[in-house]
Amino acid sequence: MKALKYTVFLFLISVNTFAVKAEKRAEVMTVETMQAIIEDMSEEFSRENNVFSFVLEKTQLYCVWDVKADRMRLVSPIAKSKDVPAEFLEMALQANYHSVLDPRYAIGDGVLYSAFIHPLSPLTEDELRSAILQVAIAANTFGSTFTSGALVFPGDSQQAEPEKGAPVL
């Protein structure tokens, strides 16, 4: 009898798991959905190939995607990396651990960015909206509070008070 209960229990779990996966597949993020969300949030918007360029509260952002690789990234350029003082880079690395929760500070092609990178298809509307806001806030707070919003992951490390006026592009 115990084996039968266990078998029924496993069967119900597998049916539920299958239903959840099927529901998630129905909610796959598409480029069209992503575009509609970004256009809704932005003050200026343009699209060229696989890049959305948009402005949110005077902050320039880009969304780049590759459907075949099932990846997307949101970035906001902050400064030329060669112009960023070493202590700011160290503070950015500390912030990546404590205060810029979903986005990260990153360097690519000689530019320091606030960046959020995620698989495209499982991305939800709420995650995308949150990521856009966090990337913009992280870009705007580089050189001051180095944060992506109100939350800070707890830790022992305390950042020194940064100098005013981080370099910008």
What does 69-134 look like in DSSP terms, one character per residue? TTEEEEEEEEEEGGGS-HHHHHHHHHHHHHT--SSEEEEETTEEEEEEEEESTT--HHHHHHHHHH
pLDDT at 14: 53
Query: Which amino acid would we find at residue 48?
Result: E
Q: Are 11 and 19 in contact (CB under 8 A)?
A: no
**68: its two tokens:** 């075949």
pTM, 2 dp: 0.76
| pLDDT, tens digit (0-9, with 9 covering 90-100), for 67-118 | 999 999 999 999 999 999 999 999 999 999 989 989 999 999 999 999 999 9
Instruction: Provide the pLDDT for residue 93.
Output: 94
- As its CATH architecture, domain 31-141 has 2-Layer Sandwich (3.30)
User: What ranges do the domains of the chain cover?
Assistant: 31-141
- pLDDT recorded at residue 66: 97
Give the per-residue pLDDT at 149. Answer: 85
Residue type, 51: V
Q: Evaluate whether 22 touches 35 at the Cβ level (below 8 Å).
A: no
Q: How far apart are CA 14 and CA 21, in angstroms?
A: 10
